Amino acid sequence: MYNVHDPEPVLIVGAGLVGLTTALALHHHGVPAVVVEKHPGTSIQPKARRFNFRTMEVFRAIGVADAVYAAAEGLAAHQGMRAGRTLVESEPLPPPPHVDYTDLLAASPERSCLVAQDLLEPVLLREARDRGIPVHFQTTLADLADDGTGVTATLTGAATTGGALAASFGGRSAVTPTGTGVRAPGAGAAAGSALTVRASYLVGADGAHSTVRALLGIERSGLGVLGDAVNVYFRADLGALTAGREFNICQTEHPAAPGAFASVDGRYRWMFMTGPLLPAADDPTAPPDPRWADLVRTALGAPDVAVEVLSALAWQPTMRVADRFATGRVLLAGDAAHVMTPYAAAGANTGIQDADNLAWKLAAIRSGTGGPELLGTYHDERHPVAHHVAEQSALRTGGLRELAPPTLDHPFALVAGAQYTAGAVVDDGSGPQPTDRLELSGRPGTRLPHLPLADGRSTLDLAGTEPVLLPAPDAAGWRAAAEKLSVPVADAGPGWPAAAGLTGDGALLVRPDRIVGWRSRTAADHPIRVLTSAIDAILAR
């Protein structure tokens, strides 16, 4: 099914959450991918923990949601927020009054979950390897050249000497002496050899300090650095202390130890997020200042608890978005494309939506069903959304008692209310998606409305690896046109017209990433012509 002129795999740089999800999403669409990662394993820091229902919908589509929920079981009872002078003195905080959880439950077949990034990444890695996706650690991208027909990448590091890495590229690779001509600033070319490999496309999922972005000379815009923070990652048996006080985040307001605890495994591993009250390091392996343990005990309100600080890392909440998300055959995804403050818990979640967006487009281009311009719609669609989410994140603070100002987007509209207004979508004149509430009603560019189907699935499960027509029950004209054009058709049930803003004879096209690509509320005089033009617009051909 691949374009015979484009047989090489897609090279993914970075085996973080976004790189691994991209590999799984490409595999779901039948595209071979190879992942390289400079570190010896996945993240050793817990970092992100909240994965929203839109992320879980992506995991559902690529077949890993159950494994992710299983990994999240440890924190299933740790969902609430607390605040107080110390953890011992803390009280539960009520949910924000402006959030309508009934809307949320009706909006998706999936639920958000809490699982630390250092537990989630090994799950994604296992799922990738189970599907035969090669993931090579201790392999650093040092250079790349895009000649318009493919990307030649220079890889360095311990794994370049064995035959496995070269074999992943089907023998289209060459070992060369290290060092010479390697352009990446700080890419860390290791002693030994460099491997030159050929990929059809390259995805830079290589984090905030992206080598790929630097090699392409892509600048970033945004508010920049917005503060100074320290993450104290520690081990302590807090089982007795937190029994009856389970929390996702517990804010402490002690004047000597202001900050917030975050549950990592709910029993032994925890994070204390605070300011630069004591010296902190940039390197997670640097020995932490021993006074951090006393500060943690003060914040706990438990002077006798044994606390082992594993790291005290300095970091800066930052908002910066790359000016281009794609150039030629190279794309940026995740933190490489956008860094944001963590207060809306949106960084990793936004990156996972990038993966969902780019995977089907690369698949369509490679198979020849999509035109080459489809790749440009990745930037057109994801850049404004990522910029908006990063901006909204920057407006929020870490303070749990401070409610979001009323001018901010509804928190779940931020999760699921994005609308692609330019890109692989056809405008039907229905106007912009509201951002002050969670409303998904079939506007082109928005996530398909979820309705439970009679067989227990969701309308979201009707999306395929190419655009699918979802007609209203009496849309015989659209059905016949789809049959004539070999467009797949799926039945969304009797409630579908109302949910999707259709009359009884309207229809819509859902893209593989479960985004509405085109909608006609009613029947049309020339359905074959209209449907052909809609499919051509979505697939940029």
For binding to ligand FAD (CB under 6 A), which residues are involved? 13-19, 36-39, 47-50, 117, 140-141, 187, 205-207, 211, 231, 315, 334-335, 342, 345-349, 351
Least CB distance from residue 310 to ligand FAD, whole Å?
A: 14
In the bound complex, what is the minimum distance in angstroms from residue 180's beta carbon to ligand FAD? 18
Nearer to ligand FAD, 141 or 365 (CB): 141
Residues making up the chain, counted from first to last: 541
Cβ of residue 165: shortest distance to ligand FAD, in angstroms?
Answer: 12
Contact 232, 272 (CB under 8 A): yes
* Choice between 447 and 521, CB closer to ligand FAD: 447
Measured CA to CA, the distance from residue 117 to residue 345 in angstroms comes to: 12
Least Å distance, CB 25 to ligand FAD, is: 13
Per-position DSSP letters for 203-265, written without gaps between them = EE---TT-HHHHHHT--EEEEEE---EEEEEEE---HHHHTT---SEEEE--TTS-EEEEESS
Q: How far apart are CA 529 and CA 346, in angstroms?
A: 40
User: How near is the Cβ of 537 to ligand FAD at its closest, in Å?
Assistant: 30
**48 or 364: CB nearest ligand FAD:** 48
Q: How far is the CB of 478 from ligand FAD (least distance, A)?
A: 38
Is 9 or 342 the residue whose CB approaches ligand FAD more closely? 342
Least distance from ligand FAD to the Cβ atom of residue 403, Å: 19
Closer Cβ to ligand FAD, 51 or 478, answer by number: 51
Decide whether 159 or 492 has the Cβ nearer to ligand FAD: 159
CB 467 within 8 A of CB 511: yes
E strands, 79-192, are 81-84, 91-92, 113-114, 135-136, 140-146, 151-156, 173-177
Instruction: Tell me how far CA of residue 339 lies from CA of 51, 348, 435, in angstroms.
Output: 17, 9, 22
User: For ligand FAD, which is the closer residue by CB, 215 or 300?
Assistant: 215
Q: List, as one string, the DSSP characters of 310-346.
A: EEEEEE--EEEEES-SEETTEEE-GGGTEE--GGGS-
Smaller CB separation from ligand FAD, 387 or 541 = 387
Q: Which two tokens stand for residue 258?
A: 């202001």
Closest approach, Cβ 511 to ligand FAD, in A, equals: 23
As measured in angstroms, the least distance from the Cβ of 105 to ligand FAD is 21
Q: How far apart are CA 492 and CA 341, in angstroms?
A: 39
Query: Measured between alpha carbons, how far is 285 from 204 in angstroms, rounded to an integer?
Result: 25
Of 222 and 334, CB closest to ligand FAD: 334
Task: Specify the residue, 19 or 84, whose C-beta has the smaller distance to ligand FAD.
Answer: 19
Shortest separation between residue 238's beta carbon and ligand FAD, angstroms: 19
Q: In the complex, what is the shortest distance from the CB of residue 55 to ligand FAD, in angstroms, rounded to a whole number?
A: 8
- What are the angstrom distances between the C-alpha of 68 and each of 27, 52, 264, 295? 18, 12, 15, 33
User: How many Cα atoms occupy the beta-carbon half-sphere of 131 within 13 Å?
Assistant: 24
d(CA 22, CA 353): 10
The alpha carbon of 346 is separated from its chain's Cα centroid by a whole number of angstroms, namely: 8
Tracing tokens 């009323």 back to the chain, one arrives at 406
Query: b/e per residue, 263-297, with b = 16+ CB within 10 A?
Result: bbbbeebbbbbbeebbebeeeeeeebbeebbbbbb
What is the arrangement of strands in the sheet containing 308-315, beginning at the earlier edge strand? 91-92, 81-84, 249-252, 259-263, 269-274, 229-235, 308-315
- Residue among 69 and 315 whose Cβ is closer to ligand FAD: 315
